[in-house]
Structure 1
Amino acid sequence: MLNLATLFPFQLDSFQKDAIRALDEGQSVVVCAPTGSGKTLVGEYAIHRALDRGKRVFYTTPLKALSNQKLRDFREQFGVDNVGLLTGDIAINRDAAIVVMTTEVFRNMLYGTRIGEVGTSLVDVEAVVLDECHYMNDRQRGTVWEESIIYCPPELQIVALSATVENGGQLTDWLSQVHGPTQLIYSDFRPVPLHFHYCHSKGLFPLLNAQQSGLNPRLKQRRKNPKQRSKKDALAIPYVVGQLHQREMLPAIYFIFSRRGCDRAVTAMGNVSLVNDAEAAQLKLKIDEFMAWNPDAGRAGQVEPLYRGIAAHHAGILPAWKGLVEELFQAGLIKVVFATETLAAGINMPARTTVVSSLSKRTDSGHRLLMASEFLQMSGRAGRRGMDELGHVVTVETPFEGAREAAYLATVGPDPLVSQFTPSYGMVLNLLQRHTLEEARTLVERSFGQYLANVQLAPQQQAIADLKDEIEHVRAQVEAFDEEVFADFENLRERLREEKRLLKILQQQAAEVLKGDMGPALAFAVAGTTISLKGKHVPVSAPLPAVIVTKVPGSGQFPYLICLSQDNQWFVVTTGDVVGLHAEYTRVAAVDDLEPPAGLPHKPGAHYPGDAHTATIACQVPQPPPLEEIAPEVKEQLARTHEVEERMATHPAREYGNPKKTLKQYRRIQRLESDLRDRQQALARSSDRYWQEFVSIMAVLEEFGCLADNQPTPLGETAAAIRGDNELWLGLALASGEFDALTPAQLASACAALVTESARPDTWVDYDHSTPVDNALGGLRQLRREIFQQQRRHDVMFPIWLEYDLIGLVERWVEFGEKANLAAPEGFEEKREAGSDRSDWTELCDHTSLDEGDIVRVLRRTLDFLSQIPHVPHITDALRTNARQACEWMNRFPVNEN
């Protein structure tokens, strides 16, 4: 048993003790704790324990830069011989007891064996530390974490170290299901508490109220009318830094979401110096020493500010210069570093203060407010353990965001982890190389994405179970009925409904024909004429027999009619209310001496009850014949309707009691079963989502001959050996033969076109690629079109890069390396290093608008692909040889910096 007091001669926090106890009990752990809280110590304990037992530990990180930093830290802590590094393009002491690697390299190792088995690369490995595990949220890298956990043998303990997330319990539960017993170690304790501030034109003020639960009331009025806002309202960076300097809140990391913004901020600081004389002397010593060894690594316009304690840090800067900035900042000599948010991703650069310059940023999907986890990640860099009593987080007023947005982000809490799991060509091919289709499906359905989908689908699954129970309950109530009998009865009900609808239409049509245009006829009709009433002013269900008593002037060309109905009611109607004129009947002469009631208004719709005298006259009004006797079509339809009614009256369904009630239950069962089918289909679509993606990718691979009978073909094995954004495209390109005759420099240029993303529209490069490269890439265009077509057909979306803009740089860089290498003396011990003429780099930079860091990234991405080619099966030896040679000539300063 290790002595903790000896290993860690300081007071351990309770969550650290709990994690160590869980590890000693043989469990894996998920440690969710704030940035800077000391969760890395749990990983270090796993290393100490493994060394004590003669075992090994893999320590994975999401970024090469973070892996390089861990390599330096662990070498100092555990000794150089005990630590190795694997980052894809770099392999140092791979058999060491502690191997630091990117998570992708770990995943690739696991591809080499059947899931659950311990391959040769994992012999004696006791634990794997997954640092920055919240990178599962990363859209581009998230799948790697899930695959690593799914494929990791159960014998290995997993130590997952994550920043605070909202659903750590779900991550832990999933790990327990797919890997083994896992315990959640959660802590919201920060050794150095954070204090949030808000900076505006009148100074620096507390952002939150006394309870730290909401906005400081004094800031509630700090909200400008949107129409009055402009970029001129933005606070000057020297003003903000000055506020920090006055309050002794430096050193600070000042986050700005653009590289140019970081560079401009350094310039904006002018000649301000933030260091004292002693610090200035130390800076001069270290910077001068660095520049002596790396004369071309200094960032233009930023060397002199560095002497004054001011720096920038972003992806466009050379790794060597960034490394110097990090070293000086960690030593407390840099007082403010203007950085993009990538600095928040795990690199050990704690500060007393972090400044968030804007609460929104541009993304691929548009301009949006920062996510809570992004804000917390940046905030977490504030407060140096053992050095500061408080860490400070400063949000800056901008023309478009204010104190309310800042308070919301400071108090809302972390975002949940979501799954970014996406099957790829490489995943499909590698799984099917060693597993059956059924085993592959089981593995895909073990993803965190599927786990979360199942959690979200739990209400739907419960609803389906409830529906099934309800259907059985209703069936039990009508268990004796014959579904066919009631189906027939239901059909008859529908037919009767339709027959009645048709009858109504025919009756209306016949009535309209009989009615015709009665206006002129009624104008000449005399008192005592029999008519039928039904209309706007006589709202009755059936035509009402009546007799015309008199006429009065109307509002139009026809008079109003004052009538006495058969039921002894007086009505004032228009000619439009008359639906039948029965001149064939004998006139009712008794109305000749009849006068309308004095209280009856002479306007349509007026009506008045008759008296005893009118009752004797009303009974003389004849009853017109039914419509069906006048219109044959109505008579025929009425017969059909009666026929259906008779069939329903004697239908076998009557034997079950009240058929209407039973039929209602039957229809309820039908509705429930329809709802059940819909829910089951929706559930199947949702629960099968990842597997359907897997199957779609298989279909594309089969189209190009990479799969046959669910097994990779030789062409599929070629693609399976590659790691990239689109392994199918890269594998088919290498197998096409188009690259076989290219020189090493030309091969590097052609490979760059396949792995380099589209350049910005304002990017320029003075170097052209050679004609053989153009011909080789031209030979791939038809293949690229076919892949596009098949991907669209099967709804598969992976990039198919074929970008020419930057490849001239790559070709020229390899040519520089070849020239310098050949010029070195024969047998020269450091012949490769002779290819590191710094003037080559300067010339390369002078011929493009790209930042130095971007040039390095293009070269490294190409180098990563080239370094895989010698290990790809079923390609020509010439291609492998040229790839090795291109790697050798490419991998020199500054590309080969760690």
Structure 2
Amino acid sequence: RLKSRGRQHRGKQKTPTLAAVVSHLQQRDLLPAIYFIFSRKGCDKAIAEVGPLSLVNETEAAALKVQIDAFLARTPEGARDGHVGPLYRGIAAHHAGILPAWKSLVEELFQQGLIKVVFATETLAAGINMPARTTVISSLSKRTDRGHRLLTGSEFLQMAGRAGRRGMDEQGHVTTVQTRFEGASEAAYLATSGADPLISQFTPSYGMVLNLLQIHTLEEAQALIERSFGQYLATLHLAPQQQAIADLEAEVEHQQMQLVHVEDFEVLADYEKLSGRLKEERRLLKMLQRQSQDVQASDIAMAINFAIAGTIIAIQGQAINLSTPLPAILVTKVMGAGQVPYLVILGQNNQWYVISNKEVVGLYPEIPRLAEVDGWELPQYLSLRLNQQTSGDEQTEAIAQRIPPIPPPPALAPEVQEQLQRTQEVEQRLANHQAHQWGKPGKLLKRIRRIQKLEDQISDRRTKLKQRSKHYWRQFLDLIAVLRYFDCLDDVTPTPLGQMAAALRGDNELWLGLAVASGHLELLEPQQIAAVCAALVTEVSRPDLWVAYDPSPEVETALDELRGLRRQIFQRQRRYRIEAPVWLEYDFTGLIEQWALGMEWKTLCENTSLDEGDIVRILRRTLDFLSQIPHVPHLSDEFRKNARRAGHLIDRFPVNETMITPPDSVNAVEESSTSDPAEANSTEAKDLDSTIVTIDG
């Protein structure tokens, strides 16, 4: 009931409007504030919800106008639709879907104190220097891939930690917004929760393996891995396991001390073996006795069908409350519920019984029957229902007294008698066993079995401890095995193919190196190389993704040819349980190709569901990969040159925030190339082909 009332009360809780919260903060002089909302759409919607509200004075508004106008004059493409007007009033949004240039402007204005409220996703809580007087947390729970859940202590503390500006505020303020599902109790719980434990993100990679083995021996590489912070934390986490092993060893020692007086454990082993034999002999005896009883019961059931009134029998059974055989006389048989008749019996105790065949445990045709029961009429008070029991009268008492005692049970069956003797012999041997000289053998054997169980547990824990303590090194060796399979290592020496992969950095250097070395990119044009490289280094997991542009046939062919290699890497990684992504994204490659061909930014964004920030992030990752290719050894000069050209084609605003000049004004320079990576690095900035001007112009 209390739970039900609690839910009903929560349902009546009112959630304050966003505008009301911001106005309240302004009235209480709690601005500037970071207002955390856990979705991009929610941040953009919040900008619209505050309406025409202005949070700046005239002086601040003038300062904002100067800087915003200057930004728009320099980078007109950098403005975000629907965000410019609120920015003039001291209100902004900040999330990963916004252009980096616009986010930089928001961060700079916020640091100057000109932006009073920033609606931001939780990514703002880490990695950016934007302290505020107040942080507002719009919800104490959020939706994740695994469903809706309460914030963790670290997530709450990370956002709350933004409150309070050093040297400006004596204290920071954290505000949580009440919702239908969360209130003061959840806020108090999170505010008093400790931070989550520190977890190392260290994971050996293909690039790490290849680069270490180029300059270190395998033994030196192992020493470096085992000195990592991840291994240090793993060792700390293993302390409870080590303590558990020590506790088990102490208990083993204690148990062994209780057995110091035992002179010969072989004697105890013999006693244990004999005990096992006795257990088996008793099991066989019980089985033979049951079989003998079943045979006897079957014979009695067959004979009872031919028994006549006055026959002397013995009855016993739980249903009639008789635990020992009772001499009785068969009076008559009556129809039962089934085909087998019920037996009406008068016992030696002058009790009437209505029973079935299975309660008859003895039949004695050798004893003369009592003919006096012939023609008896059953008393009216006797109920003829199964397992009924009724006392007799004076007439039946005279007959009951004439029922003779039953003879002793017949001798045991030969096989039962033989098994009984064997069982008694083993019992006698155990009773006279020399193991009794050290105490109760059963108790001693129990201690020995306990020691064996403890030692098994210690062995199992030590095995698991060894596996966990060498976790990173085993990962390192698994990576070596995969690299050998793809001919990147000759034993522990990087091959030319391994050197190519070692020169790259990414989430899966093996995949990138094999893709670059496959030759499938060699004959592509620069814009096509950019599209394929984007597919290799980026993953977009949004289910609602759409792009209006298809990749060129050459790009599709190159990606299709790489699929077989990708499948091989997946299979080999699955065998060794290596979790390194092997990306090959087709969906947005047409978008990258069109950008490399000179399409305007606004047109590009209108033809995809991706946010501007997402597009920039994809292009920057692609550019980073393209910039590495010229420094990869054993590649052709032509491929290196085309990779440089591809990088130049996509490296313009807003990908490159320093390039605010329209692409048409870029002067063509004489292209140059070199097979020497070091020389290529020094001339890379000058290597701009004249085709860029042709494409852009």
TM-score interval, normalised by the smaller of the two chains: 0.7 to 0.9
In structure 2, the partner of 1:622 is: 407
Of 848, 853, 856, the residue aligned with 2:613 is 853
* Structure 1 pair 751–495 and aligned structure 2 pair: CA distance change class (3 A): same
Q: Would the alpha carbon gap of residues 433 and 363 (structure 1) be closer, same or farther in structure 2, given more than 3 Å must change?
A: farther
- Is the 1:560–1:604 contact (alpha carbons within 8 Å) kept by the matching residues of 2? no
Query: Cα deviations across residues 858-892 of structure 1 (Å, max 9, x unaligned)?
Result: 11000111112222233333332222222233322
Q: In 2, Cα distance between the equivalents of 1:657 and 1:381?
A: 72
CA distance in 1, matches of 2:66, 2:82: 19
Distance 1:555 1:689 in 2: 78
For 1:270, give the aligned amino acid. G
SS of 2:342's equivalent? Answer: coil
Partner of 1:547: 327
Which runs of structure 2 are paired with 1:627-706 in the superposition (5 Å)?
627-629=412-414, 632=415, 634-638=416-420, 640-642=422-424, 644-645=426-427, 648=430, 653=435, 658-706=440-488
Q: 1:709/1:639 Cα in 2 relative to 1: closer, same or farther (>3 Å)?
A: farther
Is 1:430 paired with 2:211? yes
Other-structure match for 1:216: none
Question: Could you tell me which residue of structure 2 aligns to residue 404 of structure 1?
Answer: 185
Q: Out of 772-781 and 866-875, give the one that drifted further.
A: 866-875
2:55 equivalent in structure 1: 274
Which secondary structure state, in structure 1, belongs to the residue aligned with residue 30 of structure 2?
A: coil
Counterparts of residues 757-776 of structure 1 (less than 5 Å): 757-776=539-558
**Shift in Å, 1:696:** 2.8
Which whole-Å CA distance do the structure 1 matches of 2:476 and 2:99 have between them? 39
Q: Give SS of 2:244's match.
A: helix
2:509 corresponding residue in structure 1: 727
Match of 1:561 in 2: 345
Task: Tell me, in whole angstroms, the C-alpha distance in 1 between the residues paired with 2:504 and 2:106.
Answer: 35
Deviations 1:86-119 (A, max 9, x none): xxxxxxxxxxxxxxxxxxxxxxxxxxxxxxxxxx
- Closer, same or farther in 2 for the Cα pair 1:584/1:444, shift >3 Å? farther
Distance 1:288 1:469, change over 3 A: closer
Equivalent position amino acid for 1:628 in 2: A
Determine the structure 2 residue equivalent to 1:891: 651
CA distance in 2 between partners of 1:225 and 1:519 (Å): 76
The answer to whether residue 226 in structure 2 is matched with residue 466 in structure 1 is no
Q: Distance in 1 between matches of 2:507 and 2:595?
A: 24
Aligned-partner SS, 2:578? coil
Counterpart residue identity of residue 61, structure 2: A
User: 1:800, 1:547 → 2: CA distance?
Assistant: 88
Shift of 1:698: 2.8
- Separation (CA, whole Å) in 2 of partners of 1:871 and 1:800: 22
Structure of higher CA gyration radius: 2
Matches within 5 A, 1:408-419: 408-419=189-200
Q: SS at 1:559's partner residue?
A: strand
| Residue 873 of structure 1, aligned match among 626, 629, 633 | 633
Name the residue aligned to 1:790: 572
In 1: Cα distance, 2:354 partner to 2:246 partner: 63
Q: CA deviation at 1:588?
A: 9.1
Query: In 2 relative to 1, CA 242–494 (structure 1 residues): closer, same or farther, beyond 3 Å?
Result: same
Corresponding pairs, count: 632
The share of aligned pairs that are identical, in percent, is 56
* d(CA) in 2 for partners of 1:433, 1:364: 40
Deviations 1:294-320 (A, max 9, x none): 122111121122112121111222222
* Alpha-carbon shift at residue 854 of structure 1 (Å): 1.4
Could you say which residue in structure 2 is the equivalent of 1:500? Answer: 282
What is the one-letter code of the residue matched to 2:168? M
Asked whether the equivalents of residues 764 and 849 of structure 1 are also in contact (C-alpha less than 8 Å), the reply is: yes
SS in structure 2 of the partner of residue 511 of structure 1:
helix
Aligned residue among 596, 602, 609 for 1:814: 596
What amino acid does structure 2 have at the position aligned with 1:736? Answer: S
User: Would you say the 8 A contact 1:590–1:617 is kept in 2?
Assistant: no
- Contact 1:251–1:352 (CA under 8 A) maintained in structure 2: yes
Is the contact made by 1:564 and 1:571 (CA closer than 8 Å) also made in structure 2? no
3-state SS in 1 of match to 2:608: coil
State the Cα deviation string for residues 752-809 of structure 1 (Å, max 9, x = none).
0001103523222233322222221111111111111112222222221100111222
Cα distance in structure 2, aligned partners of 1:815 and 1:729? 27
What is the RMSD computed on CA atoms of the aligned residues?
Answer: 3.6
Q: What is the aligned partner in structure 2 of residue 742 from structure 1? A: 524
Which residue identity does 1:558 align to in structure 2? Y
Bigger shift: residues 728-737 or 707-716:
707-716
> Does residue 622 of structure 2 align to residue 862 of structure 1?
yes
Structure 1 residue 750: deviation in Å? Answer: 0.8
1:161-215 Cα offsets, whole Å, 9 max, x none, are xxxxxxxxxxxxxxxxxxxxxxxxxxxxxxxxxxxxxxxxxxxxxxxxxxxxxxx
1:256 is displaced (CA, Å) by: 1.3
CA spacing shift, 1:433–1:640, aligned 2, 3 Å:
farther
Between the aligned partners of 2:613 and 2:582, the Cα distance in structure 1 is 24
Partner of 1:338: 119
What SS does structure 2 have at the residue aligned with 1:418? coil
1:394 matched residue in structure 2 = 175
Distance 1:607 1:453 in 2: 81
Write the distance in 2 (CA, Å) between the matches of 1:735 and 1:759.
27
Alpha-carbon distance in 2 for matches of 1:227, 1:717: 63
Distance 1:872 1:573, change over 3 A: farther
- Per the TM alignment, residue 222 of structure 1 is displaced from its structure 2 partner at its CA by 9.7
Residue type of the alignment partner of 2:41? R
Judge conservation of contact 2:33–2:135 (CA < 8 Å) in 1. Answer: yes
- Counterparts in 2 of 1:353 and 1:546: CA distance versus 1, 3 Å: closer
5+ residue gaps, structure 1, are 1-220, 593-600, 817-838
Q: Which amino acid aligns with 1:511?
A: Q
Distance in 1, Cα, partners of 2:473 & 2:331 = 83
How far residue 537 of structure 1 moved from its aligned partner, in angstroms, is 4.2
Question: What is the DSSP-based 3-state SS (H/G/I as helix, E as strand, rest coil) of the residue aligned with 2:106?
Answer: helix
Residue 850 of structure 1 aligns with an amino acid whose one-letter code is: L
What are the within-5 Å matches in structure 2 for residues 185-224 of structure 1? Answer: none
User: What is the TM-score of this pair, normalised by structure 2?
Assistant: 0.81
Deviates further, 796-805 or 399-408: 399-408
Partner AA of 1:713 in structure 2: T
Question: C-alpha separation between the residues in 1 aligned to 2:494 and 2:319?
Answer: 80
1:529 alignment counterpart: 312
1:421 maps to 202
Separation (CA, whole Å) in 2 of partners of 1:391 and 1:563: 96
Given the superposition, is the C-alpha separation of residues 525 and 688 from structure 1 closer, same or farther in structure 2, using an over 3 Å criterion?
farther
Residue 578 of structure 1: how far off its partner (Å):
4.1
* TM-score, length basis structure 1: 0.64
Structure 1 residue aligned with 2:43:
262
- Residue 346 of structure 1 and its aligned partner are, at CA, apart by 3.3
